[in-house]
Amino acid sequence: MAATNPFVYGEIVTSAAFADREQERDRLRRDLASGQKVFLISPRRYGKSSLVRDVLRGLARENVLTVEVTVAASSSYVGFLESYARALVAADTPMSRLRRWTSELLTGVRPEVRFDTAATGEPGFSLAFPAVRTARDTARLAAEVFALPARIAAERKQKLAIALDEFQALTAFDGDTAEQALRAAVQDQRAVGYVFAGSEPSLMERMISPKRPFYKAGPVVRLQKIDPDVFGDWLEARFKASGIKAEAGLGAAIVDLAGNVPYDVQRLAHEAWDDLHEAGRRTATLDDLHATLTRLLGEQHTVFEESWQRLTLAQRAALRAIVLEDGREMLSADVRTRHRLSGASSVQAALTALVKQDVVMKDGASYVVTDSLYREWVARKTF
Ligand SMILES: Nc1ncnc2c1ncn2[C@@H]1O[C@H](COP(=O)(O)OP(=O)(O)OP(=O)(O)O)[C@@H](O)[C@H]1O
Ligand SMILES: [Mg+2]
């Protein structure tokens, strides 16, 4: 029996653990190769970063220079500019030529380059701009850094594809100025494709609305869930390839229990596979799946209980109603009566609070519990 678990969660999945997304991959690859500025939007854990990583890998094989930066990893605007400049320079330049290149490419802003060996033992370097103090300095630095991709493309006669992940974090740095500076720089960069990926749909949608700098900057891709049938079949095929034959319908049951959120699907499949493998099993049944689910709920019990305790009574009642009603028609008289909820406006307030705490998410007109395991816990352990 194969010893490695074929299901992966909590990290960016690469080709082997990748289900579906054929059309999205083709489209993004084409858009980036032709220098488009693409907005990629979905709720958390749908697979944006995995999709972007996969497409960038493909482009790198076609001799496109690729750069990936997580905007939300920086704690300030200047910090972001440093990490972005570092990533651009690193993509472009062999270590040996680094010093010359940084001084040539970043002419106006005097970078400080430090060479170090990171914890991994890989040679590395950091880039800092200690001379940047005022807002004006920052604006000058931003203009230089945001212009870099086009300069690198011209120098190397090569196309670039740049992914700025968790892009919604840009708005937190400096109001509109960061957005304006970036938008102004990218719009003329014909040889550089950008994908701005973000996991807070409401913030991302606002960034591309009228009067905002990125309005009509380029195509918008709203990543959907994976087709549940395709995903279910894919799961069963991967069980089989790893030496465990899944009972018909097991894949669909996993997708369903996991709310068809890719992360949750892979988590449940991974954990079920582990239990089966440990027991030396060669077949998997729905009962096995439920045994794994029960184990996971037991392990998370304390965490879920604490989360439940933090909610007000009105929020708990609204949450239970979401679980039992599949999140639909939450404000209707019917649902409110059935679950003994109060008036529509106080239910609305409870729902808003639950969304704010990230316990539930809005999906169109309905509400879903963000963590599918928590949903199962609420369904089984609360009254
Ligand atoms: N196409 C896919 N096929 C199978 N599993 C996937 C796929 N895409 C994502 N996943 C699963 O979902 C998990 C989360 O994916 P990823 O980190 O790419 O999502 P994300 O949308 O970037 O999330 P976040 O918004 O939290 O950054 C992955 O670790 C993997 O388990
Ligand atoms: Mg991500």
Q: How many domains does the chain have?
A: 2
Q: Of 183, 205, 222, which closes a domain?
A: 222
Task: Tokens for 296, please give them.
Answer: 């996971």
Element (H, E) at 198: strand 192-198
Cα angle 150, 53, 39; round to 5: 60
**Residue type (1 letter), 71:** V
* Minimum mean pLDDT range among 106-115, 185-194, 240-249: 106-115
Atom of ligand 1 nearest to the CA of 21: 1
- Which ligand minimizes its atom distance to the CA of 47? 1
Q: Of 170, 187, 222, which closes a domain?
A: 222
CA distances from 274 to 8, 246, 260 (A): 12, 14, 20
Q: Classify residue 16 as exposed, middle or buried by CB count within 10 Å of its CB (0-12, 13-18, 19+).
A: exposed
User: What are the tens digits of pLDDT across the range 309-331?
Assistant: 999 999 999 999 999 999 999 99
Q: Classify residue 132 as exposed, middle or buried by CB count within 10 Å of its CB (0-12, 13-18, 19+).
A: buried
What is the percent of the chain where pLDDT is above 90?
78
50 lines ligand 1 (CB under 6 A): yes
In this structure, the answer to whether residues 184 and 38 fall within a common structural domain is yes
**Mean per-residue pLDDT of the chain:** 92
Q: How far, in Å, CA of 238 to CA of 41, rounded? A: 28
Q: Of 180, 207, 222, which closes a domain?
A: 222
Which of 27-46 are b and which e, b meaning 16 or more Cβ less than 10 Å from the residue's Cβ? ebbebbbebbbbbbbbbebb
Examine the pLDDT at 186 and tell me if it is beyond 80: yes
Q: Classify residue 149 as exposed, middle or buried by CB count within 10 Å of its CB (0-12, 13-18, 19+).
A: buried
Domain of residue 200 covers: 21-222
- Cα 243 to chain centroid, rounded: 31
28 closest CA partner among 189, 221, 225, 224: 221
The Å distance, Cα 272 to ligand 1 centre, comes to 18
pLDDT of residue 246: 97
44: domain CATH number is 3.40.50.300
49 lines ligand 1 (CB under 6 A): yes
User: What are the tens digits of pLDDT across the range 333-349?
Assistant: 999 999 999 999 999 99
In this structure, the answer to whether residues 188 and 314 fall within a common structural domain is no
pLDDT of residue 311: 97
154 closest CA partner among 196, 111, 105: 105
In this structure, the answer to whether residues 242 and 351 fall within a common structural domain is yes
User: What are the tens digits of pLDDT across the range 197-242?
Assistant: 998 888 899 999 999 999 999 999 999 999 999 999 999 999 999 9
Beta strands in 7-148 (DSSP E): 37-41, 65-70, 112-117, 123-128
Q: How much is the pTM?
A: 0.90
Three-class secondary structure of residue 203 per DSSP: helix
234 lines ligand 1 (CB under 6 A): no
pLDDT of residue 87: 93
Examine the pLDDT at 91 and tell me if it is beyond 70: yes
7 is a domain residue: no
In this structure, the answer to whether residues 234 and 179 fall within a common structural domain is no
Task: Tokens for 334, please give them.
Answer: 């019917």
Atom of ligand 1 nearest to the CA of 18: 3
Examine the pLDDT at 31 and tell me if it is beyond 60: yes
Task: Tokens for 38, please give them.
Answer: 């693409």
18 lines ligand 1 (CB under 6 A): yes
pLDDT of residue 200: 85
